Amino acid sequence: MIGVIVSDSEKELLISLVEKGVERLEPSITTEGIKYNNIDQFENWRETINLLNSLEEKEYLTGEDYDRAIICPSCDSPHVYSRYACPTDRSIFIKKITLLRHEPDGYSGELENFEQKGRLVCPKCGKDLGSAHDKETWDPNLKEIGYSFECEHNGHRFERPLVIHYCPLCGSTFDYRTARYIPLKAYTLSQKTYDMVKNTADTEKLIKPIIDFLNQNELQIQYGFEIKGVSGSTHQFDLTATIGPSLLLIDYSFGDSQELVALLGKKLDIPGAEAALVDFSDNEELLNLGKVYNIPIIDTGKKNWVNPLQNVIEKMKQVPVEKKETPRRRLWERRR
Amino acid sequence: MTIEKTGIPKNLVLTSGSFLNLLNTLVNTFGSAGESMIYQMGHENGMVFCREVVSKINNEGESLENLFVRVINSANQIGWANMVVEEFNPQNGKIKVVLQDNSFKQFCLRLNMPQCFFLRGYISGIIKELTNVDYQFSRSECYAHGDEHCSIRLVAED
């Protein structure tokens, strides 16, 4: 393909990022979805991600692995909590039990056996071993030797609880089997973006007289137009102008005759449409080729640049001549 | 001793892979315009082929549908696919051709996109030659899209 064309929304985003001086985009998981700094989010966060992925594919952004998100399988929200649950009845009402040992006398037991009025006291020798709520104050001879979990519903004890995810948005609970676990990328703007933004600014300046002329002639302008041709192929154009049912297809060229051939190919697929190539390179060869292909070349650097455009517009403004009724069964009827 | 051949050979042998390379070069060079060019080539070829076939057969009293089917059947000899007319309704401007044993199936699957721009144009060229009505591609079933069959639907242009 000839280059990779960015859509209007993609171009808009890149321009706004460069204008804001943003060089890097990092994701964060919020109650509204995955958000990226400095981006006006779409209503659906997936659209933002699709947009960024598309720009990465087109090499306007460089993506790097940054984080992972658990996605609710019911409502697609990434804002989920995780809870521990009993492997027997999946109840989340379980408690963690810490096992301690007082090494000098060898007493081992659950932390709550040591607790006395907010302090830890060895049940065997009676020595105060520090605050029950501040591990930093513990006696060095008091060691944590393990832990387990206990279900408050059925009393069952186990070492490894189930990890259950809970989505506060839709209220569903799910585990790793049904959860979606997606990679989140951080993106950095590539040199291609800076080049594109600069070219866009330059192009807008160069194209302005043409836009003004089309507007004066009451044509409706659309940038980055996409249309399906009779072949079923979808074509993109830098600019289109319409008046009534007439359509003018415009592409920009920086002197590459390939652009002209491509425009001819696309025009063939859209019967009835007019086409013009805006050339920014002052290429005489293109002017001659344009005559051969019957596609006017618009070069605002030339003295009478409006003439070819005016001719096309006049053609578009003409009331379409009713097609003569053509015999529908040409070969067939001729032979009857 | 080499004998220099004069005149234009009736047939040229081109593998389907080479043919597809030609088409892909157009698409790689001109993007969507390349697809359109391939379609136009197919369209012109279809018209010429149809003209040749019709000129050779006695089609007196033949319905338009039968004539279309005969041309399509003749086109099967070229080896693209076994083309079967499934719907032919010029009054409504709808045509559907199913392509069985499509030579391009593996290419569609490998490239993960339809490779039938030439055939779309070819069929639209045949119907254009028969009816003088422009038909455009409407939609297709394609192996590349996970469909079990390959078919091309055309509709008459407004």
Statement: residue A116 has pLDDT above 80 = yes
**Residue B24 is inside which H or E element, if any?**
helix B16-30
Statement: residue A325 has pLDDT above 50 = no
> What is the pTM assigned to this prediction?
0.61
Contact indicator for A165, A75 with CB cutoff of 8 Å: no
Distance from the first to the final alpha carbon of chain B: 60
Q: Per-residue confidence at A320, pLDDT binned at 50, 70, 90? A: low
**Mean local confidence (pLDDT), A104-129:** 93
Contact indicator for B76, B82 with CB cutoff of 8 Å: yes
Statement: residue B2 has pLDDT above 70 = no
Measure Cα distances from B63 to A140, A321, B40, B75, B130 in Å.
102, 32, 27, 18, 11
Q: In what side-by-side order are the strands of the sheet with B82-89?
A: B82-89, B94-100, B151-156, B135-141
pLDDT digits (tens, 9 = 90+) for B11-40: 777 787 788 888 888 988 898 999 999 999
Q: Per-residue confidence at B3, pLDDT binned at 50, 70, 90? A: low
Contact indicator for A13, A39 with CB cutoff of 8 Å: yes
Contact indicator for A200, A15 with CB cutoff of 8 Å: yes
A329 contacts: CB under 8 Å, gap ≥ 6: B64, B130, B131, B132
Statement: residue B118 has pLDDT above 80 = yes
pLDDT of residue A326: 41
Look up residue A171 and give its amino acid.
Answer: G
Q: Per-residue confidence at B5, pLDDT binned at 50, 70, 90? A: low
Query: What is the interface size between A and B, counted as CB pairs within 8 Å?
Result: 107
**Mean local confidence (pLDDT), B95-116:** 85
Statement: residue A322 has pLDDT above 80 = no
Short-list A234, A230, A231, A288, CA closest to A260:
A288
**Mean local confidence (pLDDT), B93-118:** 86
Sign of CA dihedral A70, A75, A76, A80: negative
Nearest CA in chain A to B125: A231
**Mean local confidence (pLDDT), A17-24:** 85
**Residue A298 is inside which H or E element, if any?**
strand A297-298
Question: What architecture is the B16-156 domain classified under in CATH?
Answer: 2-Layer Sandwich (3.30)
Statement: residue A201 has pLDDT above 80 = no
Measure Cα distances from A102 to A78, A137, A159, B76 in Å.
44, 15, 22, 91
Short-list A6, A8, A7, A53, CA closest to A27:
A53
> Tokens in use for A62?
């460089």
Mean pLDDT of chain A: 87
Statement: residue A93 has pLDDT above 70 = yes
> Counting beta carbons within 10 angstroms of the beta carbon of residue B133, is it exposed (0 to 12), middle (13 to 18) or buried (19 or more)?
middle
Nearest CA in chain B to A265: B33
Best of B36, B92, B95 to disrupt the A interface (most A CBs within 10 Å) is B36
Chain A residues within 8 A of B90 when measuring between CB atoms: 328
Contact between B134 and A230 using a beta-carbon 8 Å cutoff = yes
Chain B residues within 8 A of A327 when measuring between CB atoms: 132
pLDDT digits (tens, 9 = 90+) for A206-257: 888 999 999 999 999 988 788 999 999 999 998 999 998 999 999 988 778 8
Short-list A1, A8, A38, CA closest to A239:
A8
pLDDT digits (tens, 9 = 90+) for A51-87: 999 999 999 999 999 999 999 999 989 999 999 999 9
| Nearest beta carbon to residue A265 from set B34, B67, B136 | B34
